[in-house]
Structure 1
Amino acid sequence: MKFVQRRAGRYEFRFPLPDDLAGKTAPPPWPDALAVLVNVRIGRFKTELIRSLKTNDGPTADRRVLAHIAEAQRLVEQARCFLRDGPVASISADQIAALARDHEIHLLGQDEAIRAKGLGLNMARDEEAPHDGLGMTLDDVRAYRLLVDELDRYTRQQAAQMRPGPSTSSFVNRAVEARGIVLAPDDPAWRQLELAFVKAQRDALAGIRARLDGEDVATPQRPAEQTGLALTAALRLWAEAGGAGARKPQPSSIAEAEGAVRRFVELHGDMPISAITKAHARAFRDSLVQLPKALPALLGRLPLPELLKQDLGKYPRRNAQTINKTLALLSGVLARAERDGHFEALSAWTNPFHVGFDVAPAEREPYEPFSTGELQRLFASPVFARGERPAGGRGEAAYWFPLIALFCGARRTEIAQLKIGDVRQGDGGIWYFDITNEGADQNLKTASSARSVPIHRELLRLGMVDMVTDRTKRHPSTAPLWPAFAPPIDAKTKAWTKWFGRYLGEHVVDHSAKTFHSFRHTFKRACREAGLSEEVHNALTGHAGGGVGRRYGRERRADGTLDCGISLARLHAEIDKIAYKDLKISRCNHVGLSKNMTQPFSYLKAPSKNLL
């Protein structure tokens, strides 16, 4: 593939920059985003980009390079725009005008306070009484006029030259910091602000000189300070989401949103949501770009500004999709506040967190189903063929999680949160998983995820019911089905998934598109191959396809819950049509069952009733 080359046994991405950029002068200051294109030592654009693809497998390199190509082309276009148009300002003209106006009001207010109290200068010293603080003495007026005249001359000189001086820059820095506005050092808004402050200062000094001539010049009223709902308060309202019966965010989403808000507050403070601008959101986004996927505990506890000062280069960086998800959560918090009317005072409010990255097409749908060969390698690996139970696999979860996902299409969290009582036997002796959110620490991704999934005959052969029966003898029905996944399970599930990713890479396939979620894709493909209708396999996987009609015809079960509109007997007959050709799986060594008992799945018949 183009832009892929092999060197020293590994593949790398090599992208020559186009002729209109390669070796050309890069006028400073260039945006931080373009730093990877610039040779800082000589101040010119590089002639090419080279990145390791971290693999020695050609097909894997061809897949991985797609994201690098898209990113390089995006940077090239950004560099061309930078050379053509110069840097883009990050705050609006209205915001610049408001800051300058506030500076003028500040200067006039300070003057009013000085003249009201006076300085108490007395050059003749012919009076012993101290100054009474009621206005200015004649010496005060003379000295003050000299100072104002000099400041006026200096300010008008800056305006004539269009070169703001250090004092003006200092005023701008303080104003920007006080408003919580974050600007990159190379942002053109700095110059626009400084020029606006020069004009505001000239207008204020004109008013002060008029006052010294006895004219009445009023200090304009300062606009009311922006107040309102703080971001942390908005987060609480979003998480609570009303009273009983209201649709609420999932606990995992709330936890992620709390982490995002904590990081935002560390960077900008707990701002009123009406004061948050896209400049704040962009600065937060760009800070997240610098953070790795995971950090040691000691580093992870550092506030964001301190964390960014650390050497994080040795950790793998988080991808654009993860950053976009964080921004989407914060966007959702503000969208809820908007529905509640917290932005009505703003004439044209837009959600500032709509600043996500464009994700490369190759990264938008990263998961792929497992091939037959990959499944054969998985079930010939030590956990399934030799009964090994690595510590990271958390006991029998290492064996059963992949099998349940493969033959039922369930999500990892749905499997991990099962209780003993969630494995049930219904009418006609049909065993099924009751996937629900009614137990402690049980959550579902969507409302349609609540469902009853018949246990596939292959899982019955492998000893699923025997394992559950053994657990039932020793524990109540409300106990976790998997001993290592007692509530809270979120962190345990994530840790288990990381272990499985490593196990998969060691024994089966090392590719970002092949993860535990690939079982769900494999199951959906097997449903189609077996001729199951979309309505049926959506009911099995908990997908919400089919429109509003999907919810018609649902019957209420004995426990008061509604089924999916398709009988359990029909689902049972349909799920047993699913087969994986030439796949052999060893039966779990549990409750005296032989772990060496194998049988080609393609020749299986329906299980006997005596087995149950």
Structure 2
Amino acid sequence: MAGKVRHLINRSGRYHARLVVPKDLRDVVGKTELRSPLGGDYRQALKLLPGAVARLQHQIAQAERKAGQGHAQAGAGRYPLAADQIALSHYNQRLAFDDLLRNEPGYADSGIDDLYVNRLRKAVAGRSSDDELQALIGDQLERFRAVGNVSAGQGSDEWRVIARALCSAELEALARVAERDEGDFTGTPTVPIIVNAQPPSDAPEPVSLKRLWADYVTARKQAGFMRDNGRQLGLTVERLRKFVKHDDAARLTKKDIVEWRDHLLKDLAAKTVSDKYLSTIRSLLNWAVDNERLTQNVAATVKQPKPRQRRSREKGFTDAEALKLLKASREYTPHEDERGRVREKPELIAAKRWVPMLAAFSGARVTELTQLRKEDLRKEGGHWGMRITPDAGSVKTSEYRDVPLHQQLIDEGFERFLEQAGSGPLFHGGKEPARYATKAVRISSQLAEWLRRDGLVPDGVQPNHAWRHRFKTQCRELGVSDRVADAIQGHAGRTAADDYGDVTLKTKADAIAKLPSYGI
């Protein structure tokens, strides 16, 4: 899958450059984000993107000066860099951007514009006018001005030196691009202005990883995510801090992330490293860049290939396996100790009795069922249904959905169970809504352990997902469209067309009624 290009978004088939406005500047700018249209052609949008982002960054820099937040006089560079340092920075950013673009099919076939190369060579030789330099490299130069690296006025000697340095860096980057098109990714810069460039004397302000993570969690919670306060994924950040032996996100390099990845692979599966560790750090640093906390995401292109899973059977339960599990659920009797006492909590006993059948006839995620509250079940027009809602804990799509109940659930006594249940959660003992999601996850894990321990789940089958796979398979066999099955199960639509029209409650009820009862 192609990697996400930073600052590029697609809205209704049209591409735009997008930059988030820092919170403390939104009153000045009057917006929460800035956008610049790039047209409907993806390849052309990629070419226009760097210049458009530079102009948006310049608007934010102007707003910052207007708000009086700059640390120097208006027009002065806040973080000045020498011409060779700017050339080195541009060279590195240009190749990093090339890394991202090579995830796009056909990019390497686009070729290099010979006329553009000749114009760059003319500029490096000092034969270009100020207007020609501005047209050639002005957008890139303004990008450095926007972040405070440049303060020279257009047409000045200093401005021309910087412009020519950028042209030299662009030529050198294009040489690497051409080598990469032939499969050679080993090239290094050769021009002295880049080879001999010295790093800035003043290091950037430290950015605490720990503080960054706390702010990121706060932002995600405000958006309705991370109800566990980031406790699980926070361990990822702690492992990175321990590995690099410091807490400064601004000091992280791509090499650090690569070495950390290789270190993790000594003890963890490639899928875990990719889907949990690298994904978490990549998202954190991307958020930091979008919110002006860091200038680049050094983890953006660090990936870990995952081995293809070997499958020797279907993902869902077979008819025989489903019947065996539901019988065990129906006949479940909690274990008594030597004194005749039942140690198992009533909520877990109820979960073992009803959650498997609820999953069988809804294809819902098990945790969505273990977090159900009594008030989430209701009877309307003589028919029972359940509302799966993030108010009860956590829903992957963050949207509620109503799911009708199959008649066999009522025949088995689920209505009587609801009448006897107290208000609040049905399958866990949580008292505080903030803890519901954590409690529901724990119960779903205990259910999975029970199923495995009692031999009710075959090897290679995920107990908390097998019902979802089976439900989708049954719907297809019964002629129920994937669109309707997705609406019942809470799957997002695969195309824009899937978002048009509604799947009504009646449509869902008709689909669920087609499911055959189990002979338990």
> TM-score range with shorter-chain normalisation?
0.5 to 0.7
Indicate if the aligned counterparts of 1:250 and 1:443 stay in contact, CA closer than 8 A.
no
Q: Could you say what secondary structure the match of 1:415 adopts?
A: helix
What is the alpha-carbon distance in structure 1 between the residues aligned to residue 458 and residue 481 of structure 2?
A: 33
Quick one: which of 352, 363, 377 aligns to 1:409? 363
1:385 aligned partner, one-letter code: E
Q: What per-residue deviation string (whole Å, max 9, x for no partner) do you get for residues 546-589 of structure 1?
A: 53444445xxxxxxxxxxx2322222122111126xx322xxxx
What is the alpha-carbon distance in structure 2 between the residues aligned to residue 228 and residue 322 of structure 1?
A: 29
What is the alpha-carbon distance in structure 1 between the residues aligned to residue 474 and residue 199 of structure 2?
A: 71
Tell me the residue number matched to 1:584: 519
Q: What per-residue deviation string (whole Å, max 9, x for no partner) do you get for residues 145-179 of structure 1?
A: xxxxxxxxxxxxxxxxxxxxxxxxxxxxxxxxxxx
* TM-score for the superposition, normalised by structure 1: 0.46
Q: Could you say what secondary structure the match of 2:230 adopts?
A: helix
What is the alpha-carbon distance in structure 2 between the residues aligned to residue 335 and residue 364 of structure 1?
A: 34
Q: Note closer, same or farther for the CA distance 1:247–1:547 as it changes in structure 2 (3 Å cut).
A: farther
Tell me the residue number matched to 1:224: 202
In the alignment, is residue 332 of structure 1 matched against residue 283 of structure 2? Answer: yes
In the alignment, is residue 521 of structure 1 matched against residue 469 of structure 2? Answer: yes
What is the alpha-carbon distance in structure 2 between the residues aligned to residue 489 and residue 523 of structure 1?
A: 26
CA RMSD of aligned residues (A): 3.4
In the alignment, is residue 453 of structure 1 matched against residue 431 of structure 2? Answer: no
Tell me the residue number matched to 2:384: 431
Tell me the residue number matched to 1:468: 418
Tell me the residue number matched to 2:99: none
In the alignment, is residue 538 of structure 1 matched against residue 486 of structure 2? Answer: yes
Q: Note closer, same or farther for the CA distance 1:287–1:496 as it changes in structure 2 (3 Å cut).
A: farther
Q: Percent identity?
A: 24
Indicate if the aligned counterparts of 1:406 and 1:519 stay in contact, CA closer than 8 A.
yes
Q: Could you say what secondary structure the match of 2:349 adopts?
A: coil
Indicate if the aligned counterparts of 2:285 and 2:297 stay in contact, CA closer than 8 A.
no
Q: Could you say what secondary structure the match of 1:341 adopts?
A: coil
In the alignment, is residue 251 of structure 1 matched against residue 227 of structure 2? Answer: yes
Indicate if the aligned counterparts of 2:371 and 2:440 stay in contact, CA closer than 8 A.
no
In the alignment, is residue 397 of structure 1 matched against residue 347 of structure 2? Answer: no
Q: Note closer, same or farther for the CA distance 1:415–1:241 as it changes in structure 2 (3 Å cut).
A: same
Indicate if the aligned counterparts of 1:239 and 1:248 stay in contact, CA closer than 8 A.
no
Indicate if the aligned counterparts of 2:378 and 2:386 stay in contact, CA closer than 8 A.
yes
In the alignment, is residue 359 of structure 1 matched against residue 278 of structure 2? Answer: no
What is the alpha-carbon distance in structure 1 between the residues aligned to residue 299 and residue 313 of structure 2?
A: 28
**Cα distance, 1:239 vs structure 2:** 2.0
What is the alpha-carbon distance in structure 2 between the residues aligned to residue 464 and residue 221 of structure 1?
A: 69
Quick one: which of 279, 287, 292 aligns to 2:255? 279
* TM-score for the superposition, normalised by structure 2: 0.54
Tell me the residue number matched to 1:301: none
What is the alpha-carbon distance in structure 1 between the residues aligned to residue 437 and residue 277 of structure 2?
A: 18
What is the alpha-carbon distance in structure 2 between the residues aligned to residue 365 and residue 343 of structure 1?
A: 46
**Cα distance, 1:416 vs structure 2:** 1.4
Indicate if the aligned counterparts of 2:334 and 2:344 stay in contact, CA closer than 8 A.
no
What is the alpha-carbon distance in structure 1 between the residues aligned to residue 420 and residue 483 of structure 2?
A: 35
Indicate if the aligned counterparts of 2:227 and 2:437 stay in contact, CA closer than 8 A.
no
Quick one: which of 264, 267, 280 aligns to 2:243? 267
Quick one: which of 497, 504, 509 aligns to 1:572? 509
In the alignment, is residue 236 of structure 1 matched against residue 182 of structure 2? Answer: no
In the alignment, is residue 419 of structure 1 matched against residue 373 of structure 2? Answer: yes
Q: What per-residue deviation string (whole Å, max 9, x for no partner) do you get for residues 494-520 of structure 1?
A: 444444334333333441334221111
Tell me the residue number matched to 1:184: none
Indicate if the aligned counterparts of 1:456 and 1:575 stay in contact, CA closer than 8 A.
yes
What is the alpha-carbon distance in structure 1 between the residues aligned to residue 504 and residue 397 of structure 2?
A: 21
What is the alpha-carbon distance in structure 1 between the residues aligned to residue 462 and residue 254 of structure 2?
A: 36
What is the alpha-carbon distance in structure 1 between the residues aligned to residue 312 and residue 249 of structure 2?
A: 33
1:398 aligned partner, one-letter code: K
Quick one: which of 322, 328, 348 aligns to 1:375? 322
2:214 aligned partner, one-letter code: R
Q: Could you say what secondary structure the match of 1:396 adopts?
A: helix
What is the alpha-carbon distance in structure 2 between the residues aligned to residue 366 and residue 338 of structure 1?
A: 44
Tell me the residue number matched to 1:480: 425
**Cα distance, 1:464 vs structure 2:** 1.5
What is the alpha-carbon distance in structure 2 between the residues aligned to residue 568 and residue 290 of structure 1?
A: 50
Q: Could you say what secondary structure the match of 1:433 adopts?
A: strand
Paired residues, number = 316
**Cα distance, 1:365 vs structure 2:** 12
**Cα distance, 1:458 vs structure 2:** 1.5
What is the alpha-carbon distance in structure 2 between the residues aligned to residue 339 and residue 284 of structure 1?
A: 24
What does 1:88-167 align with in structure 2 at a 5 Å threshold?
none
Q: Which shifted more, 396-405 or 480-489?
A: 480-489
In the alignment, is residue 320 of structure 1 matched against residue 320 of structure 2? Answer: no
**Cα distance, 1:521 vs structure 2:** 0.8
Quick one: which of 451, 464, 468 aligns to 1:504? 451
Q: Could you say what secondary structure the match of 1:482 adopts?
A: coil
What is the alpha-carbon distance in structure 2 between the residues aligned to residue 232 and residue 530 of structure 1?
A: 52
Tell me the residue number matched to 1:384: 330
**Cα distance, 1:525 vs structure 2:** 0.9
Q: Note closer, same or farther for the CA distance 1:230–1:388 as it changes in structure 2 (3 Å cut).
A: same
Q: Could you say what secondary structure the match of 1:575 adopts?
A: helix
Q: Note closer, same or farther for the CA distance 1:340–1:367 as it changes in structure 2 (3 Å cut).
A: farther
**Cα distance, 1:410 vs structure 2:** 1.0
What is the alpha-carbon distance in structure 2 between the residues aligned to residue 364 and residue 327 of structure 1?
A: 25
**Cα distance, 1:257 vs structure 2:** 2.5
What is the alpha-carbon distance in structure 2 between the residues aligned to residue 342 and residue 483 of structure 1?
A: 40
**Cα distance, 1:228 vs structure 2:** 3.9
What does 1:171-210 align with in structure 2 at a 5 Å threshold?
none
Indicate if the aligned counterparts of 1:367 and 1:515 stay in contact, CA closer than 8 A.
no
Unaligned 5+ segments in structure 2 are 1-87, 90-195, 336-342
1:406 aligned partner, one-letter code: A
Q: Could you say what secondary structure the match of 1:258 adopts?
A: helix
Tell me the residue number matched to 1:172: none
Tell me the residue number matched to 2:59: none
Q: What per-residue deviation string (whole Å, max 9, x for no partner) do you get for residues 425-457 of structure 1?
A: 23x222111111124xx121123x520000111
Q: What per-residue deviation string (whole Å, max 9, x for no partner) do you get for residues 461-495 of structure 1?
A: 11112111111xxx33xx11224455524554444
Structure 1 residue runs of 4 or more that deviate by more than 6 Å after TM superposition:
364-367
**Cα distance, 1:536 vs structure 2:** 1.0
Indicate if the aligned counterparts of 1:250 and 1:445 stay in contact, CA closer than 8 A.
no
1:327 aligned partner, one-letter code: L
1:431 aligned partner, one-letter code: W
**Cα distance, 1:535 vs structure 2:** 1.6
Q: Note closer, same or farther for the CA distance 1:370–1:397 as it changes in structure 2 (3 Å cut).
A: same
Q: Could you say what secondary structure the match of 2:317 adopts?
A: coil
